[in-house]
Structure 1
Amino acid sequence: MTLYLTGGNLAACTAFEAAMATLRLPRSGAGRPRTRPGALLGDKGDSSKKIRTYLRRRGIKAVIPERKDQLANRKRKGSRGGRPHAFDRQTYKQRNLVASA
C-alpha cells in the first residue's frame, strides 16, 4: 500500500503516475520489491483514459467501474464507441479489505 497526499482540488489522474512510482510490494522470499502489481482496484473517480492507458501499458489489470457519463458517451457513439472495459465485480468487492501481514 502506498500513500501519496495531494491537495483536495487536484484530479486523481494528475498525481496517479507519481503515486504509482512510489509503490513497492515486498516479495514473500528474497529479492527486491515489485513495482508492478497484478491488479489495481479503484473507484469510479479513477476511471479516466489517462489512468487506464497507463495501467494497460504497464500490464496491470484495471478493476475500475465505468462512470455513467463514459458509458453513455460510448453507447452514443454506437459501434465506433468500442467495447466496454472488462470489470471483475467479485474482485472489486474486495477493494476496501486490508489484509494483515
Structure 2
Amino acid sequence: MVAVAADEACSSKANRSYPRRRKITVVIPEKSDQRADRKKRGSAGGRPAGFDAQRYRRRNTVERCFQKLRTWRGLATRYGKAPESYEAGLYLRGSVMWPKLLTSTT
C-alpha cells in the first residue's frame, strides 16, 4: 500500500485531497486549530482526518536518516554540482554509516 507521510505543517485540505484522488493513503496529523474549527462547526465540519500513528512513527526513522546524510558537508553544501558526483557522495556517506548501524544494533 502506498502512503504519503508529512508533518502538521502540510495538513491543508489540498495536501490531503490530491493524494486521496490518486488512491494514496495520507498520514498527516491534524493541527489543533483545524481540529477545533471542525468540532466547532459540528456535523457541517466533516469527519476527522484519518491518521495512522504507527506509520507516522516510521516517518521519523527516514527523517533521521536524511539528517545523518546531510551532516556530511559535501552533501549539505552540494559541492559536487553534477548529479553523478552527488549520487557518488550519497553512496560514500551511506557506506560510512552502514557499519556503524550494524554495530549499534547488535
1:61 maps to which of 25, 38, 41: 25
Identity across the alignment (%): 52
> Which of 90, 93, 99 pairs up with 2:57?
93
Q: Distance in 2 between the 1:61 and 1:47 partners?
A: 13
Counterpart among 39, 48, 51 of residue 15 in structure 2? 51
Equivalent residue, structure 2, for 1:70? 34
Structure 1 runs, 4 residues or longer, greater than 6 Å off: none
Structure 1 spans left out of the alignment, 5+ residues? 1-36
The AA in structure 1 aligned to 2:21 is R
- Going by fraction, where is helix more abundant, 1 or 2? 2
Q: Normalised by the size of structure 1, how large is the TM-score?
A: 0.59
Q: TM-score, normalised by structure 2?
A: 0.56
Q: CA deviation at 1:96?
A: 2.0
Give the drift of 1:44. 0.2
Amino acid at match of 2:32: K
Q: Distance in 1 between matches of 2:29 and 2:60?
A: 15
Structure 2 segments unaligned to the other structure (5+ residues): 66-93, 95-106
Match of 1:41 in 2: 5
- Separation (CA, whole Å) in 2 of partners of 1:73 and 1:67: 10
Q: Secondary structure at the match of 2:61?
A: coil
Alpha-carbon offset, residue 72 of structure 1 = 0.7
SS at match of 2:38: helix
User: CA separation in 1, counterparts of 2:7 and 2:38?
Assistant: 19
The CA deviation string for residues 25-76 of structure 1, in whole angstroms up to 9 with x for no partner, is xxxxxxxxxxxx7001110001001111101111110000000111011001
DSSP-derived class of the 2:9 partner: helix
